[in-house]
């Protein structure tokens, strides 16, 4: 499935005149050849893998209420690594999250766009009660505000030790 997307990106790159777009299409192709068959090595690949798995679950299950889970927890280590290596900026990471959110809106049932209750759960605490809010939690809230889409819905796991900044960010939205 993913390799067909990789093939398409390569075909588009072959005829692309804009060098920036051509480079982007080749990166998309490389990402699609990597994930979800193999573990993601970058945040971009993590977003791509999440999208493929989410899409396939909808295709297979005619999906209502399929969640992307705790995206800010499982994808954050790759985001953090890419930011430290300066492979990504916060702005480019935000663009990837916004793109993922827009892809969620493409999922249709019977050719009509309806609410399928796609959710992303953010924040929460670990087994010791420590807050798990991180930069990706904030980026998801910002992406939600920027895209103003009905899907995916964000769910915040509130607890007594939650970082006040995320509450402020949500209330600002």
> Could you read off the pLDDT of 52-90 as tens digits, one per residue?
999 888 888 766 678 899 999 999 999 999 999 999 999
> Could you read off the pLDDT of 133-153 as tens digits, one per residue?
999 999 999 999 999 988 899
Q: What is the DSSP string of the chain?
A: -HHHHHHHHHHHHHH---HHHHHHHHHHHHHHHHTTTS---SHHHHHHHHHHHHHHHHHHHT-SS---BSHHHHSHHHHHHHHHTTS--HHHHHHHHHHHHHHHTT--BTTB------EEEEE-B-TTS-B---HHHHHHHHHHHHH--SSSEEEEE--TT--HHHHHHHHH-
């Amino acid at each position: 499935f993913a390799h067909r997307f990789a093939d398409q990106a390569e075909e588009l790159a072959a005829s692309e005149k804009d060098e920036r777009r051509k480079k982007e299409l080749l990166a998309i192709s490389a990402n699609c050849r990597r994930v979800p068959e193999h573990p993601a090595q970058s945040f971009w690949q993590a977003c791509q893998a999440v999208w493929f798995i989410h899409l396939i679950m909808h295709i297979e299950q005619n999906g209502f209420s399929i969640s992307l889970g705790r995206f800010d927890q499982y994808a954050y280590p790759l985001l953090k690594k890419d930011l430290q290596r300066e492979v990504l900026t916060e702005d480019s990471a935000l663009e990837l999250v916004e793109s993922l959110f827009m892809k969620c809106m493409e999922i249709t049932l019977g050719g009509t766009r309806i609410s399928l209750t796609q959710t992303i759960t953010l924040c929460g605490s670990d087994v010791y009660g420590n807050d798990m809010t991180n930069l990706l939690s904030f980026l998801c809230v910002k992406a939600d505000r920027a895209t103003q889409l009905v899907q995916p819905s964000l769910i915040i796991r509130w607890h007594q030790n939650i970082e006040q900044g995320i509450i402020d960010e949500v209330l600002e939205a």
